[in-house]
Amino acid sequence: MPNLGVIISLSVIFGGLAWLAYRSIKGYEIDRRVIFVFIGIAVSAPLLFPITFEEKATPIVERLFNRIDELPAGSRVLISFDFDPAMAPEVQPMANAISRHCLHKGHKVIFMSLWGTGQSLMTAALANDILPGFPEKKDGRDFVNIGYKAGNEGVLNIIVSDFRKMFPTDVNGVPLDSTEVFDGIESCKDLDLIVALGGGRPGPKEWVLFVGDPGNVPIGVGVAAVVAPQLYPYYPQQIIGILGGIKGAAEYESELIKRHERFADMPTPGLRMMGPQTLAHMVIMFFIIIGNVVFFMTGRKKVI
């Protein structure tokens, strides 16, 4: 049974919208700040009184999930955190979920970043969110954080043929040759999968252009919603799967919980954000409908 907070919030939002619709039809103009207030309430209410929706992975997300799930333990997976704090609310949940999945499946994971701001986010996420759930995993043996390297596409252009030229050591100054993860890895071509997470430049698109296609390396991407449509043309030939925005993250989290008992109680920021998303989208759609109804009812007559 939904709690009282949810009922009151929904009543306020939709009651208010009905009142606005009535006023609009009567010909009164709606101040843009009223729209901001409604969006604010629609996003705040589900955060304060959580509303959760069930998510089911779409084929484009499921394909990447299955690839990670079906790779044999010990496979080499590189995860690149190419984002900044502005993109983090969308991309961090998918980064955490994919990292957990890879570590759980026993893959050897290489963490890196092409963004200066990505390294600190990656290091904080590993220390606070991801690794505490895997106390048995050892740095250098099961995963390695090689950090950030300046050079954008130049870095990709080099590591597609030689990793050590750009990354002689990991983020702690340990030579890559002394890590178990890098045994037998000369370049990106020796990896079993690359997961590029981001949304700017350099980001997932550059990984496809400079590493995936020339090196024939399978690439999966998790991107901020704004750039997701630009990545769709690469699916399924050049990209295994796409996690587009917070919806993609929520679908991935949902699949992780369904298929692996270990993650039943894991934090699911992606799923939690779908409540505010749904409500805010409904409010926006309602405003679009009000605007069109009023436009067609009043023609181009001047509003009061």
Partner 1 sequence: MKRSSYIVLGVVSAIFVLSWVMKSMSLSEVDDSIMQGFLLTVSAFLTLSIFSFLYKDNPFYKFAEHLFVGVSAAFWMCQGFWSTLVGNLIPRVSESLSGFFMVPYQPGSFNFHYWIPVILGLLLLMRLAPKGGWLSRWPLAFIVGTTAGLNFIKYLRSDFIDQVSSTFVPLLGDETNKWTGVGDFFSNLSLSADSQFVALLANWVIFVGVFSGLVYFFFSKEHKGVFGVGSRVGIWILMITFGASFGYTVMGRISLLVGRLTFLFRDWLGLIS
Residue type, 70: E
To partner 1, the closest distance from the beta carbon of 30 in angstroms equals 15
Alpha-carbon 20 to chain mean position: 35
- Report if residue 148 touches partner 1, rule: CB under 8 A: yes
- Report if residue 221 touches partner 1, rule: CB under 8 A: no
Q: Are 43 and 280 in contact (CB under 8 A)?
A: yes
C-alpha span between 123 and 270 (Å, rounded): 20
| Residue 87 vs 131, nearer CB to partner 1 | 87
- Report if residue 47 touches partner 1, rule: CB under 8 A: yes
Sign of torsion, CA 13 17 20 22?
negative
Q: Count of CB atoms within 10 A of residue 278's CB?
A: 14
Residue 175 DSSP SS3: strand
- Report if residue 233 touches partner 1, rule: CB under 8 A: yes
- Report if residue 208 touches partner 1, rule: CB under 8 A: yes
Residue 142 is encoded by which pair of tokens? 């099961």
| Residue 103 vs 144, nearer CB to partner 1 | 144
C-alpha span between 207 and 227 (Å, rounded): 14
Question: Could you tell me which stretch among 9-17, 64-72, 181-189, 272-280 binds partner 1 (CB under 8 A)?
Answer: 272-280
DSSP characters over 85-124: TTTHHHHHHHHHHHHHHHHHTT-EEEEEESSHHHHHHHHH
- Report if residue 280 touches partner 1, rule: CB under 8 A: yes
Answer for which of 65, 71, 83, 90 binds partner 1 (CB under 8 A) is 90
Per CB under 8 A, which of residues 174..203 are in contact with partner 1? none
C-alpha span between 218 and 257 (Å, rounded): 25
Question: Could you tell me which stretch among 72-80, 100-108, 190-198, 207-215 binds partner 1 (CB under 8 A)?
Answer: 207-215
Bridge partners (DSSP) listed for residue 82 = 198
Residue type, 277: Q
Answer for which of 13, 244, 253, 271 binds partner 1 (CB under 8 A) is 244
- Report if residue 121 touches partner 1, rule: CB under 8 A: no
Answer for which of 23, 214, 260, 266 binds partner 1 (CB under 8 A) is 214
**Residue 175: cis peptide before it, omega within 30 degrees of 0:** no
Sign of torsion, CA 211 214 216 222?
positive
Residue with tokens 């917070």: 246
To partner 1, the closest distance from the beta carbon of 136 in angstroms equals 27
C-alpha span between 11 and 288 (Å, rounded): 20
Q: Are 223 and 247 in contact (CB under 8 A)?
A: no
Answer for which of 277, 286, 290, 294 binds partner 1 (CB under 8 A) is 277
- Report if residue 216 touches partner 1, rule: CB under 8 A: no
- Report if residue 86 touches partner 1, rule: CB under 8 A: yes
- Report if residue 69 touches partner 1, rule: CB under 8 A: no
Question: Could you tell me which stretch among 102-110, 137-145, 177-185, 244-252 binds partner 1 (CB under 8 A)?
Answer: 244-252
- Report if residue 210 touches partner 1, rule: CB under 8 A: yes
Interface contacts to partner 1, rule CB under 8 A: 33, 36, 39, 43-44, 47-48, 58-59, 86, 88-90, 116, 148-151, 153, 157, 168-169, 173, 208-210, 212-214, 224-226, 228-229, 233-234, 237-238, 244-247, 273, 276-277, 280-281, 284
